[in-house]
Structure 1
Amino acid sequence: MSTVSKKQAANEQSQKIRILVADDHVTVLEGLVAIIGRQPDMSVVAQASNGRDAVARWQEHRPDVVLMDLRMPILDGVGVIDELRRMTDSARVIILTTFDSDADISRAIKAGAKGYLLKDAAREELLECIRKVYSGETSIPPSLVTKLAAGISSESLTSRELAVLSLLALGKSNKEIGVKLYISETTVKSHLRSIFAKLNVISRTEAIATASRRGLVQLK
């Protein structure tokens, strides 16, 4: 290749959106790399299979955009965003995940994610999201914005209420919850009334289902 051709190739490469892809599922990672690699305006400069490695690869390559799963080994997506944001305010991160609860979306956006997309999104939607975030925009599908708004507008549960709710999800009785948290059954019932009101439910079963859907508890 001539010197002119080399310079031209280098210039074209520098004009592409440089992307770091991080996912702990090999088939997903390889698929994303292949899709992005076929785009004339994009280039995958690094890959990572866990959160800690993603931070290291970002420090090494300083990509324009990070496309990352939410739940990853060693350090999760929110943890990665926290570390990147401590290093620079310019890090642009897109969360690509299967989790769509308002709690998950809220955690990611509050941490500083610029995009949030589900893994079943169309290829064109994914590529458009990358381009928007690269240009400085925030990209969240309308359906997820609605969930995020619903979660923000509803009253937040206190740490004690979350503890009661977690034990409730494990099938514990009021008495067992009281013993575990060192509170009386009357206090447990008071917390449950508050939880039901905040979640807009009328039963223990409905409370557990709603809390699970919102990502407040994780059922075994």
Structure 2
Amino acid sequence: MMTNLFSVFDPSSSIFNLSLNWLSTFMGLLIIPSTYWLMPSRWFILWNFILMTLHKEFKILLGSKSHSGSTFIFISLFSMILLNNFMGLFPYIFTSTSHLIFTLTMALPLWLCFMIYGWINHTNHMFTHLVPQGTPTILMPFMVCIETISNIIRPGTLAVRLTANMIAGHLLLTLLGNTGPLINNMILMMLLISQIMLLILESAVAIIQSYVFAVLSTLYSSEINYDNK
């Protein structure tokens, strides 16, 4: 029974006090046929083309002197978020990316790794990055505070952006779906059309938000190695 509107996002299904809803995070790996990895199909060629395009774009963002293979970290991040976003569009499947505990688990360790690596290896650059070029002397203390705060809240903004976008679309679909039994057939047809359009929009949001998360993570990483370019 749904006690309130947001209870649809509550991971409450469990056996022996172990939550089962989080299994949807890995469910996509189970439905991939084994021949997908052995025989290149059209889907495999299309997915490989997408990954290579992302690899080239992330390589440009990271710079020519970035560590070899570093783009695959962000490609894997993109793939994982995209898979979970799309799994959440199916009925009765738990959307793990609509929870801060999941998105923060991805954003916070990434940001911490960037910060630790930057402050240890490029300390002078990290200090100069706190004061933008051309800042008047009198405003430098304020700019340091502003840049420090904006840097600290980065993992939070990454996580909240993804979570809020996933919750907003699913919440709207739930609100419209609950009004179905209470309306006549004419309005019901309009409701079904609007639901289909919203589902298409949510599919686009699922792709865009996974791309935004990966690109912003790449940009945060490229700022640390800026002086190596």
The question of a shared fold, defined as TM-score above 0.5 by the shorter chain, is answered with: no
Structure-1-length-normalised TM-score? 0.27
Structure having the higher strand fraction is 1
